[in-house]
Amino acid sequence: MRNTLPVIIAFLAGIAMVISFFFNPERTVLGTFQENLLQWVTIVGGFTLVLGVFSIVRVNARAVSRRSDGWFYKLATVISVFAMAIPSIMPTSANSAFGKVFYSIFPISWAGAFGTGPDSIYDWLFNYVDSPMMETMFATLAFYIASAAYRAFRARSAEETLLLITACLVMLWRVPIGEALLRSIDVRIPDYINMFVMNGFNLSVQRGIIIGAALGMASMSLRILLGIERTYMGKG
Amino acid sequence: MAESMTFLDHFEIWLRAYLILSLFSFLYKDNRFYKLSEHVFAGLSAGYYVGLIWQTVIVQQLINPMFDEGEWVLIIPGMLGVLMFARLVPKWSWVSRVSLAFVIGNTAGIYLMNALHGLIFKQLYATMGSISNSNGFAGVLLALVVVVGVISTLVYFYFSKEHKGVVGVTAKVGIWFIMIAFGAHFGFTVMGRISLLIGRAEFLFYEWGGSLGQIF
Amino acid sequence: MGFWDKVSNIDRRWIYLMVAVATFFPMIVVMQFPVELTPEAVQLYEAIDNLPDSSVVMLTFDYYPSAMAETRPMSIAALRHMFSKDMKVVTVSNIPLGGPTIAEDVTRSIAKEYGKEYGVDYVNLGYRANYVAVMHGLATSIESIFKADFTGTPLKDLPLMQDVKNYNDIEFIFVVADNATIDYWISIVNAQYNIPVGGGVTAVVAPKMYAFVEAKQLTGLLGGMKGAAEYERLVKISGSATRGMASQSLVHFLIIFFVIIGNVAYFVTRKHEKGQK
């Protein structure tokens, strides 16, 4: 029961998509079935994200209640989760039953602040707090990559030298001054980089990787459908 | 920046500038400003998911269709979604497998056909087509590079047979191709990371700088 | 400790400082350089430009806020191009963090400049979980996946969506992405439903996309901030990507300089060490 039922469900949910691939979804009875199935998957998929948030809150709240190391920062995480989540799940109109009760307590003029739309608390926190931080987190990588280029990018072997020269050429080609410099040496160099490096060597390797990864993806999918691959179920 | 900014405009700019600088301060050394911002960031991002899923999935796809349009069949995916939370209770965690199996099985079915039809066959057709469609010396040379590159890369990543003899030579050719491709990729990656830094620098220089200019 | 030893062991913070100076310098002295076009960017521009006016186009915001410096200028330039040709735009996001909000903010602000009306000229569908299922689902019925738009307005109340029922009513999909969603737009939507797909992606994703462009699975490509600057040039606007190219140039030269100095220091110190042994 614990293992067989999930395997049967995975097989049926998957084989339905395989069969529907061969038929026009708009013109066959399979279309409606596929439509419902996909709609259901998008709904169930949504819950998995909330489950993740639930775990984050649980882990951090536990650390706060135990006053473990850095509990103050973990408290900041928990407060931030609620600061973002609570206003976003509040009703934005008095049309629903919950909305009627809510706006009998709070003025209806507050409605714009709730939900996820423009000018809501959610939108403001995202635009002015969350988004700038996420942008900055990734921007710091520029410094690390520069440091890595200085410390670790060595021409110790022929292969490494090839990698290094290509990287420098591409870096020059992708910026206006660099491209002008390459053109001043020979006007055809930028076109040759695009043609042979990007659309030749790079393309062929990327294609090899795409084909290899797709073969792996197809075989893994088949293993899941046939119930051979069950690691997604976890232990127990 | 705008001619005259309100107090709220200034506040929003300074708040963003503070957050940016607090995160950049880690480059000098770890500190409490960085730590606090980092944890707030993690919390807000998690909170963002809640709002998004609540409004777009639970309200729009479940509650409204069920209560307003009587689509009670949606109770099935709703239940499957709720079952996912059984994972939090060790004794009942196996129940969540049903929901997981539904999502993973469906996705595997899509992936299977997508990998074969949309990736493997299309890319193989294009590789073979590059030979028959090539024109002129440069075109033929390019087609040759593509075919040799695809084959040698696949051989290099094929570990079921020892890289000796013909396989070994082909894999060696594959390494050379891969080095050039990874070099190009590294160049692009550097470019991408620098662009992100420029985005932040532009904010600090133009917007924060503009606010500073107006205040002082 | 000799000179090259010192160079080898320089504090990383000096490197960071130099990168920061090179980034800010072109902003202080106001430098701007002309951007050269690549065939891939021209191909994408022409694919959209050759569509009949008033065509329905789907524009995706499949990116996290982290990649906004590269992808947001692409979205802005694409919207300006589309609105200037009176195209109807349907935006969608497959990213659970930021994408739908960015789509809402960017599209509304650009639409305002062109006097476009929400629901008539453009619609933001928002986000649904499990993007491969979403991409397949839109082929049969957009309304089965998106019963309402991002702000909760039912699709049946939006005039534009009365004419746009599935992919058959969409002429072109312009995917702006910073991750693997573009792979599925190509391998599911283009391959199975024959809708032309064009791509504007981050520099990290771009190298892989060349394989799809050559296979004609992807109609044109914008790679990173340079790609965004190319599109800005094509639609004749000077945006943040064009402005950023000066800093980009300087930092690239600095990194190449780092690679050279780092290697010289490495080989000189290694030779010195060998000599001592």
> Of residues A23 and B9, which shows the higher confidence score?
B9
In angstroms, what separates the C-alpha of A101 from chain C's closest C-alpha? 20
Instruction: Kindly identify which residue of chain A lies nearest to residue B82, measuring between CA atoms.
Output: A47
Which of C17, B26, B190, C13 is closest to A153 using CA atoms?
Answer: B190
- Residue A236: pLDDT over 60: no
A88 with B109: Cβ contact below 8 A? no
Give yes or no for a contact between C58 and C170, defined as CB atoms under 8 angstroms apart: yes
Say what percent of chain C tops pLDDT 70.
99
Give yes or no for a contact between B152 and A213, defined as CB atoms under 8 angstroms apart: no
C38 with A202: Cβ contact below 8 A? no
Instruction: For B161, list phi and psi in degrees, rounded to 5.
Output: -125, 140
- Residue A25: pLDDT over 70: no
Is the Cβ of B204 closer than 8 Å to some Cβ of chain A? no
C147 with B198: Cβ contact below 8 A? no
pLDDT for residue C37: 96
- What confidence tens digit (pLDDT) does each residue in C126-181 have? 999 999 999 999 998 999 999 999 988 999 999 999 999 999 999 999 999 999 99
Question: Three-class SS string for chain C?
Answer: CCHHHHHHCCCHHHHHHHHHHHHHHHHHCCCCCCCCCCHHHHHHHHHHHCCCCCCEEEEEEECCHHHHHHHHHHHHHHHHHHHHCCCEEEEEECCCCCHHHHHHHHHHHHHHHCCCCECCCEEEEEECCCHHHHHHHHHHCHHHHCCECCCCCEHHHCHHHHHCCCHHHCCEEEEEECCCHHHHHHHHHHHHHCCCEEEEECCCCHHHHHHHHHCCCCCCEEEHHHHHHHHHHHCCCCCHHHHHHHHHHHHHHHHHHHHHHHHHHHHHHHHHHHHHC
Separation in Å, CA B109 to CA A13, A109, B106, C226, C275: 7, 48, 5, 37, 63
Tokens 């030893």 correspond to what residue? C5
- What confidence tens digit (pLDDT) does each residue in C62-110 have? 999 999 999 999 999 999 999 999 999 999 999 989 899 999 999 999 9
Considering only CB atoms, C248 lies closest to which of B130, B188, B195, namely B195
Structure tokens of C135?
Answer: 């991409």
Distance CA B202, CA C69 (A): 10
Is the Cβ of A179 closer than 8 Å to some Cβ of chain C? yes
Considering only CB atoms, B153 lies closest to which of A3, A58, A209, namely A209
- Count other Cβ atoms within 10 Å, centred on residue A117: 20
pLDDT for residue A235: 64
Structure tokens of A176?
Answer: 């206006």
Is the Cβ of A179 closer than 8 Å to some Cβ of chain B? no
Distance CA C152, CA C125 (A): 9
Q: Which residues of C touch B123 (CB under 8 A)?
A: 211, 215
Q: Which residues of C touch A141 (CB under 8 A)?
A: none
Lowest mean per-residue pLDDT among A89-98, B101-110, C260-269: A89-98
For residue A60, the SS3 value is helix
In angstroms, what separates the C-alpha of A67 from chain C's closest C-alpha? 30
Instruction: Kindly identify which residue of chain B lies nearest to residue C245, measuring between CA atoms.
Output: B195
CA C13 to chain centre: 31
In angstroms, what separates the C-alpha of A80 from chain C's closest C-alpha? 15
- For chain A, the average pLDDT equals 91
Distance CA C129, CA C61 (A): 14
Q: Which residues of A touch B123 (CB under 8 A)?
A: 207, 210-211, 214
pLDDT for residue A94: 85
Considering only CB atoms, C140 lies closest to which of A34, A180, A199, namely A34
Considering only CB atoms, B149 lies closest to which of A169, A208, A217, namely A208
Structure tokens of C272?
Answer: 């010195």
Considering only CB atoms, B195 lies closest to which of C24, C69, C187, namely C69
Which of B167, B140, B164 is closest to B152 using CA atoms?
Answer: B167
Q: Which pLDDT band holds residue A1 (cuts at 50, 70, 90)?
A: confident
- Count other Cβ atoms within 10 Å, centred on residue A24: 11
Q: Which pLDDT band holds residue C275 (cuts at 50, 70, 90)?
A: confident
ipTM of the complex: 0.93
Interface test with C, best of A33, A38, A129 (most C CBs within 10 A): A38
- Residue A30: pLDDT over 80: no
A16 with B106: Cβ contact below 8 A? yes
Distance CA C155, CA C173 (A): 20
Lowest mean per-residue pLDDT among A16-30, A62-76, C84-98, C129-143: A16-30
Distance CA C256, CA C262 (A): 10
Q: Which residues of B touch C200 (CB under 8 A)?
A: none
Q: Which residues of A touch C211 (CB under 8 A)?
A: 203, 206-207, 210
- Residue C272: pLDDT over 50: yes
Which of C246, C248, C268, C245 is closest to C256 using CA atoms?
Answer: C248
Considering only CB atoms, C13 lies closest to which of B28, B194, B205, namely B28
Distance CA A89, CA A103 (A): 14
Instruction: Kindly identify which residue of chain A lies nearest to residue B174, measuring between CA atoms.
Output: A205
Considering only CB atoms, B110 lies closest to which of C132, C204, C255, namely C132
Instruction: Report, as an integer, the average pLDDT of A44-70.
Output: 92
Distance CA A159, CA B198 (A): 32
- For chain B, the average pLDDT equals 93
B123 with A211: Cβ contact below 8 A? yes
Q: Which residues of C touch A137 (CB under 8 A)?
A: 66
Is the Cβ of B44 closer than 8 Å to some Cβ of chain C? no
Instruction: Kindly identify which residue of chain B lies nearest to residue A91, measuring between CA atoms.
Output: B55
pLDDT for residue A188: 94
Instruction: Report, as an integer, the average pLDDT of B156-173.
Output: 91
- Residue A38: pLDDT over 60: yes
Instruction: Report, as an integer, the average pLDDT of B115-130.
Output: 94
The C-alpha angle B86, A34, C154, rounded to 5 degrees, equals 80
Instruction: Report, as an integer, the average pLDDT of A50-76.
Output: 94
Q: Which pLDDT band holds residue A26 (cuts at 50, 70, 90)?
A: low
Element (H, E) at A138: helix A131-139
Considering only CB atoms, A116 lies closest to which of B26, B55, B108, namely B55
Q: Which pLDDT band holds residue B1 (cuts at 50, 70, 90)?
A: very low
Give yes or no for a contact between C187 and B120, defined as CB atoms under 8 angstroms apart: no
Size of interface A-C (CB pairs under 8 A): 179
Distance CA C50, CA B28 (A): 51
Residues 6+ apart with CB under 8 A from C208: A206, A209, A210, C183
Which of C87, C88, C92 is closest to C146 using CA atoms?
Answer: C92
pLDDT for residue A212: 96
pLDDT for residue B3: 64
- What confidence tens digit (pLDDT) does each residue in B16-28 have? 999 999 999 999 9
- Residue B38: pLDDT over 80: yes
Q: Which residues of A touch C105 (CB under 8 A)?
A: 118, 123, 127
| Burial of residue A47, with CB atoms counted within 10 A of its CB: 0-12 exposed, 13-18 middle, 19 or more buried | buried
Distance CA A213, CA B120 (A): 9
Distance CA A201, CA C53 (A): 39
pLDDT for residue C126: 94
pLDDT for residue C171: 97
In angstroms, what separates the C-alpha of A82 from chain B's closest C-alpha? 6
Instruction: For C166, list phi and psi in degrees, rounded to 5.
Output: -160, -165
pLDDT for residue B169: 95
Distance CA C134, CA C173 (A): 14
Say what percent of chain A tops pLDDT 90.
71
HSE of C179, CA atoms in CB hemisphere, 13 A: 17
Instruction: For B46, list phi and psi in degrees, rounded to 5.
Output: -65, -40
For residue A118, the SS3 value is coil
B192 with C202: Cβ contact below 8 A? yes
For residue B127, the SS3 value is helix
Residues 6+ apart with CB under 8 A from B121: none
Within 93-152 of A, beta carbons closer than 8 Å to B belong to: 115-116, 122, 125-126, 128-130, 132-143, 145, 149
In angstroms, what separates the C-alpha of A106 from chain B's closest C-alpha? 20
- Residue C31: pLDDT over 90: no
Instruction: Report, as an integer, the average pLDDT of A156-164.
Output: 94
